Amino acid sequence: MPLPTSPVIRRARLGAELRQLRRRESLTLEQVCDRLGWASTSKLSRIELGQSRPDLADVLDLLDVYKVSTPAREALIVIARDAATSRGWWKTLGEMSERQRTYAELEAGAADIVEYQPSVVPGLLQTPAYARVLVAAGAQLTPEVDVEAEVRARALRQEVLRRAYPPRYTAVLAEAVCDPGDLPVEIWREQLRHLVAVTGLSHVTVRLLPRGAAGGGLHPLTPYSCYAFPDPADPRTVMLEALTTDVRLATVLDVDRYERMTAALLAAALSPEETVTVLARRVGE
């Protein structure tokens, strides 16, 4: 059974490949668009930047301009189809917000996911009640948010951890995540029980970062998640989570830095077994 692919990553991969081919032919954006009769360079620019779902016919025209022959042509057509077509379970993502859709598409095609969270449980591990409290709190800043739709979207995203070929998933959580804060105590306990339960999945690992511990003095300023994909040519990606928008990083330099950060945090974190012991103890407090 073929592993699923991530449309957002395949778009980025396709754009990078097409940009490299254009430069190989020493063509400018304007020259290519003139040959194809495209009204402006913005269409090609968005394709190269991975910002739009490409039309397969447009990709075929570009491959003709760049004189791409088989087997390279066939490989790029496969990538273009992955980038343009929403296959599998994410056909049902219609009610997701754009931010959640981006994460869902990354998670759908990932082979490895590592998340760092300093204050809340990551979306892939949230119970519906816990998610509802968080989303409702955020809705104070963005009243247009449909709270129940966002909660359902989180539940849909979580199916990726229970599919036939799930990604390897690691969550590095600051110990503050275990504090109840303003949560109703039963919602908090249910969430902690769920964290303990999901560690029973062989591909899911949860690691707590004790207070005062840091990865070699490194202190991440924001939550982030790292994604690697089955095809090593697909760009490894980091997502930084902010209040109003998220930032996607895919340069080798940026990703390498965050992977070094992650390694340092894991070295400072409790072991998976110690983490389960702490979580189970906190449930009883």
Per-residue tens of pLDDT for the chain, all 285 residues: 445 677 888 888 898 899 999 999 999 999 999 999 998 899 999 999 888 888 889 999 999 999 998 888 998 998 888 887 655 445 555 567 888 888 988 998 899 999 999 999 999 999 999 999 999 988 888 888 889 989 998 998 999 999 988 999 999 999 999 888 888 999 999 999 999 999 999 999 999 999 877 656 677 889 999 999 988 888 899 999 988 888 999 899 999 999 999 999 999 999 999 999 999 999 887
Alpha helices in the chain (DSSP H): 7-24, 29-36, 42-48, 56-65, 72-84, 98-109, 128-138, 147-158, 185-198, 252-268, 272-284
Looking at the DSSP assignment, which residues form a beta bridge with residue 170? 114, 205
Q: Which two tokens stand for residue 137?
A: 């709190």
The β-bridge partners of 241 are 246
pLDDT of 146 reads 87
Residue 121 buriedness (CB in 10 A; 0-12 / 13-18 / 19+): buried
14, 109, 90, 165 alpha-carbon torsion, rounded to 10°: 150
pLDDT (0 to 100) of residue 81 = 86
Q: How far apart are CA 150 and CA 145, in angstroms?
A: 8
Q: Residue-wise over 34-44: b if at least 16 C-beta within 10 A, else e?
A: eeeebeebebb
Distance CA 54, CA 39 (A): 16
- Residue 85 is predicted with a pLDDT of 64
Q: State the pLDDT at residue 1.
A: 41
Phi, psi (rounded to 5 degrees) for 66 = -90, 5
Tokens for 222? Answer: 């924001």
**Residue 240 host element (H or E):** strand 237-241
Give the integer Cα–Cα distance in Å for 171 and 152.
21
pTM of the model: 0.83
Q: Give CA–CA dist 227/198, Å, rounded.
A: 20
**Run of H or E including 225:** strand 224-228
DSSP 8-state assignment for residue 215 = B
